Amino acid sequence: MSVVILNIIQLVQLLSALGMIGLILIQHGKGADMGAAFGSGSSGSLFGASGGANFLSRTTAVLATVFFVATLALAYFGNLRPASTGSVLEGAAAVAPVAVDAASAAPAAAQAASGVGQIPTK
C-alpha cells in the first residue's frame, strides 16, 4: 500500500474526528430541549426550533461513519504482511567470513604467542 494513500486516510480520519468534536460541543443536551418546550428561547436559532438538532445529529452521524470506516481501513492496511510468514532472520543475508591474508595474521600470532595484550591471571 502506498504511503500517500495511508496519509490521506489518516487525514480523513483526523478531519472527521475534529468535525465530530466541534459538532458534539455545539449540540444541546436532552435537558435543553425540555427548557425550550416551556418557552425559554431556543426557537430563535439559525435552524429553527427543531431543525438544528436534526441537521447537527445527522451530520455527526455521517462524520462518525466516515471516522469508523477510516479506522477500519487503517487497521486493515496496518496488518498487511508480506507473503513470507517466516522469521525476519530467515530473510537476512548470510555474512561471509572475512579473508585474512598471511601478512596481517603474522603480527597477531606473534602477539598471542608472547602474551602481549592478554589479561594476567594469578
CB within 8 A of 20, min separation 6: which ones? 60, 63, 64, 67
Dist CA 72 CA 9 (whole Å): 10
Predicted TM-score (pTM) of the model is 0.53
pLDDT at 95 > cutoff 90: no
Domain ranges of the chain: 3-36+44-78
Per-residue pLDDT tens digits for 40-94: 555 555 555 555 568 888 999 999 999 999 999 999 988 886 666 566 666 565 5
CB 14 within 8 A of CB 61: no
pLDDT at 9 > cutoff 90: yes
13 vs 99: which has the higher pLDDT: 13
